[in-house]
Structure 1
Amino acid sequence: MSFKMKKIKKTNTLLNLIGLIIIFSLAFLGVYAVQSINLGNNKYKAGKGVYSEETKEYKKEIGILIVGRGGFTGGNDAPNLTDTIILAKINKDKKNVSLLSIQRDLYVNYATNPNEKEGTGKINSVYPHYLGRLKDETQAMHKLAEKIKDITGEETDYFVNVDFAGFKKIIDTLGGVEIDVKESFVDRTYPDGNWGYKTISFKKGLQTMDGEKALEYSRSRHSTSDFDRSLRQQQVIQAVKNKIMSSYTINSPAKVTELYNIFKENIFTDVSINDAITLALDLGLLKENYKFISSNFNDTCWSPTADCEKGGIIHVPNRELFGGAWVSLVNGSTVNSLSKYDLSRKYSDIVLNYPRLEEEDAKISIFNASKVTGAGVFVNNMKRYGFKFTEKEAVANAPETMEESIIYYNGIDAESDTIQALKKFFKGKFERVPEPKFSTQKAKIEIVIGKDYVKDNSIFNF
């Protein structure tokens, strides 16, 4: 048995919010099933998404592709565009949920293999493209999942496709959510649902938002960048999660039932009841203290003089090459070669599979022991993956030349996500030391570039 999949409830506004609220919705459906069904001594059987027939164990990692569509009313002439696309990865052992937002304007080949001739367009139109051609919602979602795998290199176990007609009602049922607005902003071109616009504004600080206000906060796109918008969406998602987990909700069977009814009317998914129970119980999503790490694609590294930020792997090309459309490409891709995804795959691997890198906050210093200039380029190349550097000693000359490149580390475990992530980029020697070798800024990690790098620059692959 699976959740209701056919009916897509109409909405009165163009909704662009989707995210981990769905994961907790699924977990809540599991809770509802446990409360409503007498399991007795019968064990429920989880599906392939959470149980491995090969190891006969529950999977330690689960990938979920989450997309949100606008719906059919409120002046929306493109109801099936997936304007929000989030790849979520749940790690049971690390108690992490990693969220990666994919820019809706990323320009792609619709085809998922060289033999297909499907045309090109923004990634938010992949689902409606295949829905129109295949006339099947599930197959269309599988095609989108294949394209996301092409871009990120990541498999997904489930998909969740949502028309957020019930979004405001969910938050109102929860009694509102607390949001800490990081910066004040004004949006004078927010859609009013009647083909016009209205002005909305938010002041900096902690505040309680009802469903309408939270939707506006999540959806606003004209006042700040699309990258800021995706992070605001995830901020609301986490606020909803906190409210769902609170005693206000958990201890109220009536509210659980009310939320269940809202969820099942607006979610189209391949998650079964049994798998929802697994998400709720075996993974402990509602009770365990999972840490959330949010990431996205942005263009902060495109300019040669830019100070890169985490996620800086895309750029905005000349609009004339795309018929005047505002699109983005993964760095390395061009209008004639759209599918250069080496960088996006490496980035996705790091942020989804080594999520504690950010939390560990192990500062890095680079020491040039090769006597050849150019070590500074390492800094920006590494920052886009989320690596952190010492403030005054990001790059320096080593006190002596060294034949072999090496990475020294101190005060951090060899099995840490930071060290394991660095092994993806450096094929040389790692050595644990009791204290920094060269750093005067107490760097936890010292990357020493030796003369061997001059002969073979593939030693480092950032």
Structure 2
Amino acid sequence: MMSFSVRRISDDSSRRRIAWKPLLGNVLFFARPLMQLYGAWRQQREADERAERRRHALRIAMTVAAALALAALLWMGTARAWMFLKTVGLRTALNIAATELPRDALGHTNLLLLGQGDSAGQDLTDTLMIASLDARGSSAVLLSLPRDLHFLERKGLPDGKVNNSYRDYKVRRRREGLEPDAASLQALRDSAQEIGSALQLDIHGVVKVDFEGFVQAVDAIGGVDVAVPEDIVDTQFPTADYGYETFAINAGPQHLDGATALKYARTRHTSSDFDRSARQQQILKAMAARVREQGLLGKARTVAALQSIVAEHVETTLDLGMILALGKMAAESEGGDVHAMQINDRNGLYEGVVEPGGFLYTPPRELFGGQSVLLPVSIPEFPVTWKQLQMLKRLFIDMRTPYAWNADIAILNAGAKSGVARTLGNEFVRYGFPVGRIANASMPDQETSFIAAGGDSALDAAKFFGAFLDLPVQDMPAGLPAEERGAVTIVLGEDYAYTPFQNLSLPQ
């Protein structure tokens, strides 16, 4: 048997050894500031892009308002009004005819927008949205309510869903002796009063449009272009004769006529009513873009067609002067912020998904005669209250500035009870604030909680949230890695005790 032996080739191993630890330490020492600079640059770039998207959305909203004002002017008589516009110009015409818009104490005009089905829908409202505009037209807030939101108490009516309110109040007013048109207008006001009272919001007017008007309006502007995010095949799309048909549309860019746009907005192929609301907003934005890009406001025939549709398919408590005032606001607006949110049931309870607007839950059907309804999540659980939604209204509609900052928030646990950072983070998300990181801090435990701004641009946001949470604002810890920081960083120390937002006081 052949034998083998092993021997060292060279004893001089030091020539090939590399001091990896010191080298790596030097690399990290010089790289960390560069990484921090890159992170700050990326945050600023993303903030600039988000701001431009918000300005674009407001321009779209104001284009719609201007179109509505033009249609209102044409109620004077198409030929006479058109000559008037050609002579004095749109802005002068609006200044002459517009009245002062009603406003709440904060200078906001709040409208309730309703979308209604055809006669088979029995006066049920399919779409419910609050639109709040500030006096200068520099910001707008859109808050969508799901049709299954249930009111346990209604003035003069038994409990019921919000999409039944217009119908039920209309029936009540007819029984009281009002003529059909007067009963319908009063029912719109009653619905606005019901929703406004629950949210503690003054609602100054209501606009209701039916499905046929939607279809005709899309056709009148030559259709709309949308990007469909996924293939849709709905084999149970309802028809006018109470049957079903298959509605199918492919993902990608699509040009839709009125009938197809309505089906796309109404299909339940995707998961919920909340997805339908997103598609409805997509169609409305596409309509506004079409009007603006094609210069349709300057074409008398198109505007006259829209005016005819408005007269037949739109009902509103707004008078002519208020409509023209909205158009004046649109004409004078130079862009600003638009914030949108949908109230939903993705509330994060029981380790579920949490999303902005997640303030509702589904109670057992047997408690409501087999109906599927949505109720506000309450703290404590009983009795059911609207306290969280009222706090959302105060932040999102009344104040709205904290949403314009759009400051990315990092929440770090540095000595607080386990899980409390996640609880606070979910609360921020529910109220619509961007949370980029929830984690345990790499820094040592802190006795005192605090908030730090990632730069001068985030200082106002840090001060606001510091006052809201009753936490001091101090400098960003020098040793905190860049990947753990946000534009606003909240460090929860040993002294931190979680309090729901509904129980906090807003900074003045």
Coarse TM-score class (shorter-chain normalised): 0.7 to 0.9
Query: Partners in 2 of 1:420 and 1:47 — Cα distance?
Result: 39
Of the three residues 132, 137, 157, the one matched with 1:118 is 157
1:179 partner SS: strand
Of structures 1 and 2, the larger Rg is shown by 2
Report Cα offsets for 1:333-358 as digits up to 9, x if no partner: 899844x1111122233343565766
**Farther off after superposition, 206-215 or 329-338:** 329-338
Query: Partners in 2 of 1:124 and 1:22 — Cα distance?
Result: 25
Q: How far off is 1:241 after superposition?
A: 1.2
TM-score normalised by L of structure 1: 0.80
Query: Partners in 2 of 1:406 and 1:342 — Cα distance?
Result: 27
**8 Å contact kept, 1:428–1:459:** no
The aligned amino acid for 1:180 is A
TM-score normalised by L of structure 2: 0.73
Cα gap change, 1:371 to 1:172, in 2 (>3 Å): closer
**8 Å contact kept, 2:213–2:314:** no
Report Cα offsets for 1:134-189 as digits up to 9, x if no partner: 23223222221122123333222211122232221111111111111122222111
Which is richer in helix?
2
Query: Partners in 1 of 2:469 and 2:286 — Cα distance?
Result: 38
1:399 partner SS: coil
Matches within 5 A, 1:56-135: 60-72=107-119, 76=120, 78-91=121-134, 93=136, 95-112=138-155, 117-135=156-174
Are 1:49 and 2:101 an aligned pair?
Answer: yes
Structure 2 unaligned regions, length at least 5: 1-60, 175-182
Q: How far off is 1:406 after superposition?
A: 2.6
State the identity %. 26
Query: In the alignment, which residue of structure 2 is the partner of 1:411?
Result: 455
2:347 partner SS: coil
Cα gap change, 1:206 to 1:352, in 2 (>3 Å): farther
Matches within 5 A, 1:408-447: 408-411=452-455, 413=457, 422=465, 425-431=468-474, 433=475, 438-441=480-483, 442-447=485-490
**8 Å contact kept, 2:357–2:430:** yes
**8 Å contact kept, 1:25–1:263:** no
Count of matched residue positions in the alignment of Structure 1 and Structure 2? 424
The aligned amino acid for 1:85 is L
Query: Partners in 1 of 2:325 and 2:67 — Cα distance?
Result: 13
Query: Partners in 1 of 2:502 and 2:450 — Cα distance?
Result: 10
Cα gap change, 1:179 to 1:428, in 2 (>3 Å): same
Query: Partners in 2 of 1:71 and 1:21 — Cα distance?
Result: 27
1:453 partner SS: coil
Structure 1 unaligned regions, length at least 5: 1-18
Of the three residues 201, 212, 217, the one matched with 1:154 is 201
Query: Partners in 2 of 1:311 and 1:458 — Cα distance?
Result: 15
2:340 partner SS: strand
Are 1:226 and 2:267 an aligned pair?
Answer: no
Q: How far off is 1:459 after superposition?
A: 9.0
Q: How far off is 1:208 after superposition?
A: 0.9
Query: Partners in 2 of 1:435 and 1:329 — Cα distance?
Result: 43
Matches within 5 A, 1:205-284: 205-284=252-331
Query: Partners in 2 of 1:458 and 1:120 — Cα distance?
Result: 28
Q: How far off is 1:120 after superposition?
A: 0.5
Are 1:27 and 2:74 an aligned pair?
Answer: no
2:203 partner SS: coil
Report Cα offsets for 1:337-392 as digits up to 9, x if no partner: 44x111112223334356576675422111334443232211112111222223xx
**8 Å contact kept, 1:219–1:229:** yes
Query: In the alignment, which residue of structure 1 is the partner of 2:391?
Result: 346
